């Protein structure tokens, strides 16, 4: 019983220092008590006979107690937001949803409120579950909450140059370079090639509608590469698109245990290559090399096109022109600026392609499931174009229903019933009229907030709008099988991708087939 006093004393000490314990602390405390009890029995049963053993066991107990105190005090001061109870070491890993994570997060929101606190292998994270807290943290306290958590893996693979990974000053410089060319008025410059690309997509869908997935991806890739590098790709099978895909796959395939160890012990990045189990060093070299290649290769393609006079104006060519005009720079400064241009151009492809492809895929599946919505969209388009031509950006202000259709497609991930009544229903009308303004205001969240908000927003909005208008104006889209009617399902992950079901895509009439053949363009750039 000599150690029984430890329990209440320790509890008092803990509450004084750390405040009211959260469930995770109670769990840790329980573990600590268990350890003291085991140690107590151990001392009583084995050590009483020899005083030296007693001393040794006291020492063991002291070390154990001190480390537990350190562990308990490692929790940041002040109460943490509530969340599901975490296990030692694993944290909340076993409770993390494997699919349709938004449902679990919604359940947690009901149980724990607007902010849910989790840990995974000791790494804390929070889930923000209401617009109010997202705005309060990401917008109003953007300076505090816009950095990425340190990632030893990113450093190990040489990926700190990527805008989405960069922090502080490196992030600020890259963002301002990107925004100068892709946001605000500058985004308008891209409209002509965005309209062309919408028509190239229509042409591809006319010729081989069954390849819709590849066509959508090729379309997104070309639209962004044209803006960033000034060249288009020959569809999703283009070597560059494949190279980009493989790069991201390689990044994802990095051995999980090695990345866990690296995050826990960053010094592992210097683990000698001649030692056993050093395979992860070679894998790190490979990932570094292939990421460097996708940074350098498209840039080289642009340089060749510029040299041959065939490059369309782009972020790279314009930035190089601006650089050439700055005569006061030293050679070193000039080299640094070129590296910065490479950094910024490369990230646009990675950040923009999948999100745009997923949005257009969702749009096509929605049209197949809601013929009444497609019909209404076509009626509006016909009123503006006279049913005689494809839409252009000049028609934009006369197409409020197409605009609402665009917003409702993006809205599908927003399910707050207090803002979007019956969130399971696809209803573009919610974005029309006075009430529509409030819905749009909320939906700006889809582009993120604060210093990390999407710098490709205007580019994406314009490209998606003209592509949706073009596809809706000339095609009928129906599910290949209607018994049973397919459901629109999404895969889980960082980007919510629709699972495409087989659809028929046919010109609305023989007149529309003629219009398409007359107006759609083959590849218009090199
Ligand atoms: C449907 C289309 C798109 C959606 C929904 C979308 C959404 C987002 C969101 C929510 C973020 C913020 C992520 C965060 O908080 O960390 C983001 C960041 C970003 N987006 Fe987009 N995006 C889209 C298209 C694009 C396009 C077309 C481009 C480029 C051409 C682009 C470039 C970027 C970049 C570079 C970032 C990182 C910004 C930073 O870390 O400072 N996005 N996007």
Q: Which atom of ligand 1 is nearest to the CA of 164?
A: 40
Residue 126 binned pLDDT confidence (cut-offs 50, 70, 90): very high
Q: Ligand 1 centroid vs 352 CA: distance in angstroms?
A: 6
pLDDT, residue 350, reads 84
**Residue range 2-28: mean pLDDT, rounded:** 54
Domains of the chain: 6-73 (no CATH), 83-130 (no CATH), 168-519 (1.10.630.10)
Q: Helix or strand or coil: residue 387?
A: coil
| pLDDT of 520 higher than 90 | no
Q: Which atom of ligand 1 is nearest to the CA of 227?
A: 30
Take atom 24 of ligand 1 and give the residue whose Cα is closest: 352
Q: Could you tell me whether strands 123-128 and 503-507 are parallel, antiparallel, or unpaired per DSSP bridges? A: unpaired
Take atom 3 of ligand 1 and give the residue whose Cα is closest: 355
Q: What percent of the chain has pLDDT over 90?
A: 52
Residue matched to tokens 């999100």:
355
Residue matched to tokens 């008590």:
33
164 CB within 6 A, ligand 1: yes
- Identify the residue with better confidence: 76 or 520: 520
Other CB atoms closer than 10 Å to residue 69's CB: what's the count?
A: 15
Q: Ligand 1 centroid vs 302 CA: distance in angstroms?
A: 23
- Using CA atoms, how far apart are residues 402 and 407, in angstroms rounded to an integer? 9
455 CB within 6 A, ligand 1: yes
- Using CA atoms, how far apart are residues 200 and 208, in angstroms rounded to an integer? 12
- Using CA atoms, how far apart are residues 503 and 336, in angstroms rounded to an integer? 49
Q: How far is CA 96 from CA 93, 150, 489, in A?
A: 5, 22, 20
467 CB within 6 A, ligand 1: no
Residue 394 binned pLDDT confidence (cut-offs 50, 70, 90): very high
Alpha helix stretches (DSSP H) within 183-238: 191-207, 212-228
Are 353 and 224 in contact by the 8 Å Cβ rule? The answer is yes
**Residue range 481-509: mean pLDDT, rounded:** 91
Residue 151 binned pLDDT confidence (cut-offs 50, 70, 90): confident
pLDDT, residue 203, reads 92
pLDDT, residue 17, reads 45
Backbone angles phi, psi at 388, to 5 degrees: -120, -5
Take atom 19 of ligand 1 and give the residue whose Cα is closest: 454
Residue to substitute in 355, 443, 497 for testing ligand 1 pocket (most ligand atoms within 8 angstroms of CB): 355
Are 504 and 478 in contact by the 8 Å Cβ rule? The answer is yes
Distance, CA of 94 to chain centre: 23
356 CB within 6 A, ligand 1: yes
Residue 266 binned pLDDT confidence (cut-offs 50, 70, 90): confident
450 CB within 6 A, ligand 1: no
**Has 454 been labeled as part of a binding site?**
yes
pLDDT, residue 434, reads 87
Q: Ligand 1 centroid vs 164 CA: distance in angstroms?
A: 9
- Tell me which of 48-52, 279-283, 472-476 is least confident: 48-52
Q: How far is CA 260 from CA 98, 99, 235, 271, 287, in A?
A: 19, 22, 37, 15, 17
| pLDDT of 526 higher than 80 | no
| pLDDT of 418 higher than 70 | yes
365 CB within 6 A, ligand 1: no
268 CB within 6 A, ligand 1: no
* Residue among 361, 348, 368 at smallest CA distance from 496: 361
Q: Over the stretch 101-116, which tens digit does the pLDDT of each residue have?
A: 888 998 999 999 999 9
Q: Which atom of ligand 1 is nearest to the CA of 138?
A: 15
What's the half-sphere exposure (Cβ side, CA atoms, 13 Å) at 280? 19
- Using CA atoms, how far apart are residues 456 and 350, in angstroms rounded to an integer? 12
pLDDT, residue 23, reads 53
pLDDT, residue 19, reads 47
* Residue among 184, 154, 497, 183 at smallest CA distance from 356: 497
pLDDT, residue 64, reads 65
Backbone angles phi, psi at 479, to 5 degrees: -70, 145
Q: Ligand 1 centroid vs 421 CA: distance in angstroms?
A: 27
pLDDT, residue 28, reads 57
Q: Over the stretch 270-291, which tens digit does the pLDDT of each residue have?
A: 889 988 888 889 888 988 998 8
Q: How far is CA 37 from CA 5, 30, 46, in A?
A: 11, 11, 14
**Residue range 41-56: mean pLDDT, rounded:** 55
| pLDDT of 169 higher than 80 | yes
What's the half-sphere exposure (Cβ side, CA atoms, 13 Å) at 473? 29
> What DSSP line would sit under 231-270, residue for residue?
---SSTTSHHHHHHHHHHHHHHTS-HHHHHHHHH-GGGGG
Residue to substitute in 454, 465, 468 for testing ligand 1 pocket (most ligand atoms within 8 angstroms of CB): 454
Take atom 40 of ligand 1 and give the residue whose Cα is closest: 164
Q: How far is CA 88 from CA 28, 57, 78, 112, 120, in A?
A: 8, 25, 21, 21, 10
Angle at CA of residue 312, ends 231 and 452, nearest 5°: 70
Q: How far is CA 210 from CA 86, 482, 502, 503, 516, in A?
A: 47, 17, 8, 8, 18
């Amino acid at each position: 019983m000599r150690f029984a006093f430890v329990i209440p004393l320790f509890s008092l000490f803990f509450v004084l220092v750390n405040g009211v314990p959260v469930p995770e602390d109670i769990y840790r405390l329980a573990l600590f008590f268990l350890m003291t009890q085991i140690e107590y029995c151990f001392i009583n049963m084995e050590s009483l006979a020899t005083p030296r053993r007693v001393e040794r066991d006291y020492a063991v107990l002291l070390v154990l107690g001190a480390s537990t105190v350190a562990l308990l005090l490692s929790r940041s001061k002040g109460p943490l937001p509530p969340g599901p109870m975490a296990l030692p070491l694993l944290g909340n890993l076993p409770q993390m949803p494997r699919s349709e994570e938004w449902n679990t997060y919604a359940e947690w929101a009901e149980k724990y409120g607007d902010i849910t606190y989790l840990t995974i292998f000791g790494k804390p994270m929070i889930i923000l579950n209401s617009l109010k807290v997202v705005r309060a943290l990401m917008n109003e306290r953007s300076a505090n909450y816009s950095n990425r958590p340190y990632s030893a893996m990113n450093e190990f693979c040489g990926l700190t140059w990527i805008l989405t990974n960069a922090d502080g000053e490196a992030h600020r410089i890259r963002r301002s370079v990107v925004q100068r060319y892709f946001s605000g008025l500058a985004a308008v410059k891209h409209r002509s090639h965005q309209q062309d690309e919408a028509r190239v997509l229509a042409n591809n869908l006319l010729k081989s509608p069954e390849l819709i997935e590849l066509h959508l991806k090729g379309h997104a890739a070309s639209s962004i590469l044209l803006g960033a590098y000034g060249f288009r790709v020959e569809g999703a099978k283009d070597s560059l698109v494949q190279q980009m895909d493989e790069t991201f796959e390689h990044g994802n395939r990095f051995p999980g245990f090695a990345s866990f160890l690296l995050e826990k012990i960053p010094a592992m990045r210097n683990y000698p290559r001649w030692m056993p189990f050093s395979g992860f060093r070679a894998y790190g070299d490979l990932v570094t090399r292939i990421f460097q290649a996708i940074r350098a290769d498209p840039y080289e393609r642009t340089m060749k096109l510029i040299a041959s006079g065939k490059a369309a104006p782009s972020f790279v060519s314009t930035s190089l022109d601006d650089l050439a005009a700055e005569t006061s720079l030293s050679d070193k400064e000039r080299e640094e600026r070129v590296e910065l241009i490479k950094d910024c151009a490369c990230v646009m492809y990675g950040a923009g392609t999948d999100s745009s492809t997923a949005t257009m895929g969702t749009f096509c599946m929605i049209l197949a499931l809601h013929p009444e919505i497609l019909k209404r969209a076509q009626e509006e388009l016909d009123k503006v174009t006279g049913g005689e031509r494809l839409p252009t950006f000049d028609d934009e202000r006369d197409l409020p229903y197409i605009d609402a259709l665009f917003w409702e497609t993006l809205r599908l991930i927003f399910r707050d019933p207090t803002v979007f009544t019956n969130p399971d229903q696809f209803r573009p009308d919610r974005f029309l009229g006075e009430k529509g303004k409030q819905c749009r205001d909320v939906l700006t969240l889809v582009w993120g907030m604060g210093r990390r908000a999407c710098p490709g927003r205007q580019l994406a909005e314009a490209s998606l709008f003209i592509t949706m208008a073009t596809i809706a104006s000339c095609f009928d889209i129906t599910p290949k099988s209607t018994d049973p009617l397919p459901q629109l399902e999404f895969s889980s992950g960082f980007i919510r991708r629709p699972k495409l079901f087989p659809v028929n895509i046919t010109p609305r009439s023989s007149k529309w087939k003629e219009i398409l053949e007359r107006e759609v363009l083959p590849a218009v750039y090199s």
